[in-house]
């Protein structure tokens, strides 16, 4: 069986953050990105569950920054068996939680996991709505 872990990159808040000329967003070209800490916790939990059950862990991420590879390599190095990177014309744009969930649902359905784990929230939006939105779109309780 499969356990899917959704991985996201977020701005590295340890670095100095630059504001875009619009004044309403970060200058995304000047920001460095890191794995969302909460997604890293979800990955660790998935790996513990997989070790106990013999399941396969698959890391899935949407590449909106053009820099997701390092995050997925990290997941593989920690023990995920596979990594899937979703790419498209959304690179360089901010995706709403619902838009991200809609991109993830077909991949999750194809993988047929028995469990999907996400981080509790991301520090760049703080809404924590990805997991319940995925569950609703997948028709899961």
Fold of the CATH domain 2-8+37-138 = Rossmann fold (3.40.50)
Residue 127: φ, ψ to 5°:
-100, -20
Token pair for residue 130?
Answer: 């990805």
Structure confidence at residue 12 (pLDDT):
78
Answer for the pair 35, 71: CB distance below 8 angstroms, yes or no.
yes
Mark residue 66 as left, alpha or beta (left: phi above 0; alpha: psi -120 to 50; beta: remaining): left
- Beta-carbon neighbour count of residue 14 at 10 Å? 8
Structure confidence at residue 81 (pLDDT):
98
Beta bridge partners of residue 107, listed in sequence order: none
Please give the average per-residue pLDDT across 23-33, as a whole number. 74
- pLDDT tens across 81-131, in order? 999 999 988 766 778 899 999 999 999 999 999 999 999 877 666 678 999
């Amino acid at each position: 069986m499969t356990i899917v872990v959704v991985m996201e990159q977020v701005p590295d808040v340890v670095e100095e953050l630059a504001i875009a000329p619009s004044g309403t967003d970060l200058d995304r070209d000047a920001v460095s990105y890191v794995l969302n800490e909460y997604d890293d916790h979800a990955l660790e939990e998935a790996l513990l569950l997989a070790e106990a059950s013999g399941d396969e862990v698959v890391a899935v991420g949407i590449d909106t920054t053009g820099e997701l590879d390092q995050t997925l390599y990290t997941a593989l190095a920690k023990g995920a068996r596979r990594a899937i990177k979703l790419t498209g014309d959304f690179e360089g744009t901010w995706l709403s939680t619902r838009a991200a969930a809609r991109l993830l649902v077909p991949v999750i359905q194809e993988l047929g996991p028995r469990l999907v784990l996400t981080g509790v929230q991301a520090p760049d939006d703080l809404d924590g709505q990805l997991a319940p939105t995925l569950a609703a779109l997948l028709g899961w309780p």
